[in-house]
């Protein structure tokens, strides 16, 4: 029984370390502020979440009672990380930080062949043929 639980805990620790490492690489290798914002907000948040889940499992088994502190930390982290990322992105837009030209292309959703040539009818145009 404990061998399986140790394997699950080890999996979460390794997965958490991998997520944190990938997030750190993203911070160093991505080209502009907006791209770099993804590293700490997505990958690192998942990494810390995995490590906290491993901690909850380990100390829940060792101490034989549910661990509430790690659960609260995980909940707080998953609530605050997107909010702080949104505020950082809005600040970058407000300060008009430079972007890499590669990120300013036309997304597929906005191309003419995807949107169509006809304008979207507006409710104020109804009955004015």
Residue 128 scores a pLDDT above 90: no
Residue 106 placed within a domain: no
Q: What is the pLDDT of residue 19?
A: 94
Identify the burial level of 59 via C-beta atoms within 10 angstroms of its C-beta, where 0-12 means exposed, 13-18 middle and 19 or more buried.
Answer: middle
Residue 105 placed within a domain: no
Round to whole Å and give the CA distance between 71 and 54: 11
103 vs 40, residue with greater confidence: 40
Kindly report the backbone phi and psi dihedral angles of residue 107, in degrees, each rounded to the nearest multiple of 5, phi listed first. -65, 155
Residue 42 placed within a domain: yes
Radius of gyration for the alpha carbons in the chain, expressed in angstroms and rounded: 23
Residue 113 placed within a domain: no
Q: Please identify which residue in the block is written with the tokens 């890499």.
A: 100
Q: What is the pTM of this model?
A: 0.71
Residue 84 placed within a domain: yes
Residue 20 placed within a domain: yes
Structural domain count, the chain: 1
Q: Please identify which residue in the block is written with the tokens 């430079």.
A: 98
Residue 83 placed within a domain: yes
pLDDT tens, residue by residue, 53-110: 999 999 988 888 888 888 899 889 889 988 988 898 888 887 877 877 776 655 454 4
Question: Which residues constitute the domain of residue 12?
Answer: 1-95
């Amino acid at each position: 029984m404990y061998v399986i639980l140790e394997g699950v805990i080890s999996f979460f620790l390794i997965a958490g370390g991998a997520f944190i490492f990938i997030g750190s690489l993203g911070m160093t290798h991505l080209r502009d502020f907006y791209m770099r914002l993804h590293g700490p907000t997505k990958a690192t948040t998942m990494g810390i979440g995995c490590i906290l889940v491993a901690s909850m499992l380990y100390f829940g088994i060792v101490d034989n009672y549910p661990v509430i502190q790690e659960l609260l930390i995980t909940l707080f982290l998953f609530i605050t990380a997107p909010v702080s990322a949104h505020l950082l992105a809005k600040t970058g837009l407000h300060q008009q930080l430079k972007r890499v030209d590669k990120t300013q292309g036309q997304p597929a959703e906005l191309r003419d062949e995807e949107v169509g040539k006809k304008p979207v009818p507006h409710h104020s145009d109804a009955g004015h043929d």
